[in-house]
Chain A
Amino acid sequence: MEVGLTHLLFVSTALFFIGVFGFLTRRNMITMLMSIELILNSVNINFIAFNKYLYGGNLDGVFFTLFLIAIAAAEAAVAIAIIINLYRSHSSIDIENADEMKF
């Protein structure tokens, strides 16, 4: 069976919605961060697949993927700094316990 663009898009869509499912069900900040990483990875697969199958002569998708990876690294680092700071003040990283800023 020939593997085409549709199969790659199936994989990336499934990965995206697995990440969304984790984001909706989990209540722990670190596991929510892991779900966000899955979502960003699915976007990367999309860029690479479109670059490979539809715009073979260009490299634009590759650059977008590289920038996305850099931004994901920065985002993870900042998020973990915030989580550790929150753990110091609340001694818990459950999302339900951090509700001081509600109204």
Chain B
Amino acid sequence: MFFLIAAFTLITALMSVTEKKIFRAAIYLLFSMMGVAGIYFWLNYDFIAAVQIIVYVGGIVVLIIFSIFLTQQVGRAMEKPKRLRVSFSLLAVLFAFAFCFIIIWQNEFTNVEESSVELTANTIGEQLLSLTGHGYILPFEVVSMLLLAAMVGCIVIALKQVPVTVLKKEKQNSTLS
């Protein structure tokens, strides 16, 4: 079962980075994210899998599809990358992959133990918000501030710029009246 999920994830990811049409690439990315969520389900990390599906599949991929609709002609194929660039990056990626995987393969993992903690939303929430021991309340607050800052930043960046002359005119009007 694991091999099936892993093969599905990797094949859809590969198609997502090589597909010519950008909309199809986004759909393949969606399936790849679903495959990653399947791996989490297979490992019995149900909560993480649910968060993965909600945030990635329901949030980020839909956002990417919307931005594709806003900026591209959907049906048109993208231009082919240069053959030289493809061959060199393929070479680099294959060498790096072989290097990393040989290191992983030769490494003996000691003290392998199966998970003993019952992983429910209850235990995760309690430890996430506890102040003592292994509590994660400070990073939680920092991440919430980061999300707020990202939200404000997005609004400011994507705001339609008002031309300067209009601003000046408005100022004059307000001083006159």
**A35 in contact with B17 (CB, 8 Å):** yes
Please name the residue on chain A nearest to B33 by beta carbon.
Answer: A41
Q: A31-82: which have CB < 8 Å to B?
A: 31, 33-35, 37-38, 41, 44-45, 48-49, 51-54, 56-60, 62-63, 65-67, 69-78, 80-82
Please name the residue on chain A nearest to B65 by beta carbon.
Answer: A30
- Given contacts A31-B22, A76-B64, A38 and B123 within 8 Å (CB-CB): no
**B157 in contact with A85 (CB, 8 Å):** yes
> Given the complex, which residues of B lie within 8 Å of A6, measured CB to CB?
104-105, 109
- Given contacts A62-B48, A85-B158, A11 and B6 within 8 Å (CB-CB): yes
**B109 in contact with A69 (CB, 8 Å):** no
Question: B112: which of A7, A19, A53, A77 is its contact (CB, 8 Å)?
Answer: A53
B4 to A: closest C-beta gap in Å: 12
Question: A78: which of B14, B43, B139, B150 is its contact (CB, 8 Å)?
Answer: B150
**A60 in contact with B93 (CB, 8 Å):** no
Please name the residue on chain A nearest to B96 by beta carbon.
Answer: A17
> Given the complex, which residues of A lie within 8 Å of B136, measured CB to CB?
63
> Given the complex, which residues of B lie within 8 Å of A81, measured CB to CB?
153-154, 157-158
**B113 in contact with A13 (CB, 8 Å):** no
Q: Complex: how many Å from CA A34 to CA B33?
A: 11
- Given contacts A33-B64, A62-B45, A9 and B104 within 8 Å (CB-CB): yes
Interface size class of A (residues with CB under 8 A): 35 or more
Please name the residue on chain B nearest to A82 by beta carbon.
Answer: B157
> Given the complex, which residues of B lie within 8 Å of A3, measured CB to CB?
2-3
B31 to A: closest C-beta gap in Å: 12
Please name the residue on chain A nearest to B48 by beta carbon.
Answer: A65
B70 to A: closest C-beta gap in Å: 6
Q: Complex: how many Å from CA A9 to CA B102?
A: 11
* Residue interface mask B155-177, A partner, CB < 8 A = 1: 00110000000000000000000
- Given contacts A21-B89, A81-B154, A15 and B13 within 8 Å (CB-CB): yes
* Residue interface mask B38-81, A partner, CB < 8 A = 1: 01100101011001100110011001100110111000001101
Given A34-B29, A71-B143, 10 more A-B residue pairs with CB atoms under 8 Å apart are A20-B89, A24-B85, A27-B79, A30-B26, A38-B16, A38-B17, A52-B114, A63-B139, A80-B63, A87-B70
- 20 of the cross-chain contacts (CB-CB < 8 Å) are A5-B112, A6-B105, A10-B104, A11-B6, A28-B22, A30-B22, A31-B25, A35-B17, A54-B109, A59-B123, A66-B48, A69-B51, A70-B55, A73-B59, A74-B147, A78-B150, A78-B154, A80-B64, A83-B71, A85-B158
